[in-house]
């Protein structure tokens, strides 16, 4: 009967969350910490990371921080290895850091396109590669969890977000390739597809009442999502309960992509 109850406990697991200083990354970090993990918050700016790390600690959970820009190759590689060295390894990586640049096609420069792909996709690949090296070198054998924050726009088109949607589709493809390559090693690789959540990245959309009207009418839930509503998905994918879930896209969108 010991194996009847699914195990969502993350005690002793060290998880690095990029873009963990606010928004979805912070909400996921809080959920992981509250489920027992030692969560390592990343972002570019030390101040908010210190503040959120201290708040998680004050709530009685375990947290650390490592500031680096995920799209700075040298800093990112050094950063993830510094985390592993400090904590004696790494169990999980949530590739979540991101931004948005919305332009109609004639105004979308090569620079803007490459910037978005660099932060969302290339940086996620680089950290994934380093994380797998660390996970494979664990003294008790390889094990670990890779999670990518994708988006419903990986599968549904929306105007003005060419590099964002392309990068999110790319993340899901990378999760499947990772599943194929490390699936036999106890290292899983999955994506989460959030719908529309109330965070800073969506500030320009929130200023537009017509957009909110569209979100509420298009989503069976009838509202924007609270970032805390992503906590269950990431905790599940990080946990022993998800040991046979690999190469999957877990949609958390209030039903938006299920309906016409």
Ligand X SMILES: NC(=O)c1ccc[n+]([C@@H]2O[C@H](COP(=O)([O-])OP(=O)(O)OC[C@H]3O[C@@H](n4cnc5c(N)ncnc54)[C@H](OP(=O)(O)O)[C@@H]3O)[C@@H](O)[C@H]2O)c1
Identify the active-site residue in 91, 164, 196, 244. 164
Does residue 164 carry a catalytic annotation?
yes
Contact flag: residue 138 with ligand X (CB under 6 A): no
Q: From the CB of 199, what's the least distance to ligand X, in Å?
A: 3
Between 51 and 107, CB nearer to ligand X: 51
Supply 36's token pair: 């027992």
Q: From the CB of 5, what's the least distance to ligand X, in Å?
A: 31
**What is the contact mask toward ligand X in residues 191 to 220, using x (rule: CB under 6 A)?**
---x-xx-xxxx------------------
Q: From the CB of 57, what's the least distance to ligand X, in Å?
A: 18
Q: What is the DSSP string of 199-219?
A: SGGGHHHHT-HHHHHHHHHHS
Helix (H, G, I), strand (E, B) or coil at 249: strand
Q: Rounded CA gap, 99 and 116, in Å?
A: 7
- Sign for the pseudo-dihedral over CA of 256, 257, 259, 260: positive
Q: Rounded CA gap, 137 and 133, in Å?
A: 6
Find all residues with CB under 8 Å of 157, minimum gap 6, and list them.
Answer: 165
Contact flag: residue 149 with ligand X (CB under 6 A): yes
Between 148 and 236, CB nearer to ligand X: 148
Q: Please list the residues that pair with 95 across neighbouring strands.
A: 148
- Sign for the pseudo-dihedral over CA of 11, 16, 20, 23: negative
Between 108 and 241, CB nearer to ligand X: 108
Give the relative orientation of helices 123-136 and 162-182 as an angle to the nearest 10 degrees: 20
Contact flag: residue 24 with ligand X (CB under 6 A): yes
Size of the site for ligand X (CB under 6 A): 28
Catalytic residue IDs = 164
Give the binding site for ligand X (CB under 6 A).
18-19, 21-25, 43-45, 48, 69-71, 96-99, 119, 149, 151, 194, 196-197, 199-202
């Amino acid at each position: 009967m010991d194996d009847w109850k699914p195990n969502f406990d993350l005690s002793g697991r060290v998880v690095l969350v990029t873009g963990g200083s606010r928004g979805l990354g912070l909400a996921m970090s809080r959920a992981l910490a509250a489920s027992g993990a030692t969560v390592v918050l990343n972002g570019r700016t030390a101040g908010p990371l210190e503040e959120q790390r201290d708040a998680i600690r004050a709530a009685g959970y375990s947290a650390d921080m490592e500031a680096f820009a995920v799209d700075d190759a040298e800093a990112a590689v050094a950063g993830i290895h510094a985390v592993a060295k400090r904590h004696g390894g790494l169990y999980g990586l949530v590739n979540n850091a991101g931004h948005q640049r919305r332009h109609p096609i004639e105004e979308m420069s090569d620079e803007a396109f490459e910037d978005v792909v660099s932060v969302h996709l290339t940086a996620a690949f680089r950290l994934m590669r380093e994380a797998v090296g660390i996970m494979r070198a664990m003294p008790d054998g390889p094990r670990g969890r890779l999670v990518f924050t994708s988006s419903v726009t990986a599968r549904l088109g929306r105007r003005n977000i060419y590099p964002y949607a392309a990068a999110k589709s790319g993340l899901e493809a990378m999760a499947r390739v990772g599943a194929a390559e490390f699936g036999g090693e106890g290292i899983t690789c999955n994506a989460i597809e959030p719908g529309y959540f109330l965070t800073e990245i969506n500030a320009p959309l929130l200023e537009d009442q017509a957009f909110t009207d569209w979100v509420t009418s298009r989503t069976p839930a009838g509202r924007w999502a609270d970032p805390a509503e992503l906590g269950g998905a990431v905790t599940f994918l990080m946990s022993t309960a998800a040991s046979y879930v690999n190469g999957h896209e877990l949609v958390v969108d209030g039903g938006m992509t299920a309906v016409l």
